[in-house]
Amino acid sequence: MRLARHLAEHEQPRKVGADLPELTQPYIGLTPRKMNKTELARAIRQDIIAELDAVALYEAHIDGTDDETAKRIIRHIVNEEKQHAAEFMVLLEYLDPDQVTLGAEGAEDARLMLQGLEPEEPDSQAPTPQGLTVGSLVGEQQASA
């Protein structure tokens, strides 16, 4: 599914033989209306997955051939897919500011661990990211009962 979505973005639809997998479905990403920012952020996360999935697939192609010309071209494409993933990540940070904050915290935790240090435990009293939680609805239910 993810591969089909990725190929739908990057390749022209084509007929395939019965013995080949169906690789393209160009209308799979269409929505019946314009997406709001939250929905678009969710879609962009799937796009990031598709880009990284393509990187893994194409690197497997490189590993699976001795043709140096093919390897060179596929490596070029792999590098472009890595760039696409990074571009989508920047777009996701624009669409979901919590991604910036939480992403920076996660990156800092990983950097500490790379240095052999332990990251701080998350602060359970810290405010939750924007949006409703299960707990934030409790008062609403009691007030309307």
Rule CB under 5 A: say whether 47 interacts with Fe ion: no
Indicate the residue among 55 and 95 with the shorter CB distance to Fe ion.
55
CB of 128 to Fe ion, least distance (A): 33
Indicate the residue among 81 and 96 with the shorter CB distance to Fe ion.
81
Torsion angle, alpha carbons of 16, 12, 49, 31, to 10 = -100
Instruction: Give the dihedral sign, CA 28/34/40/42.
Output: negative
CB of 87 to Fe ion, least distance (A): 9
CB of 14 to Fe ion, least distance (A): 18
For residue 112, how many other CB atoms are within 10 A of its CB?
A: 13
CA distances from 90 to 40, 47, 104, 125, 144 (A): 13, 12, 13, 29, 41
Instruction: Give the x-and-dash track for 76-95 against Fe ion (CB under 5 A).
Output: -----x--x-----------
User: Applying CB under 5 A, which residues contact Fe ion?
Assistant: 51, 81, 84
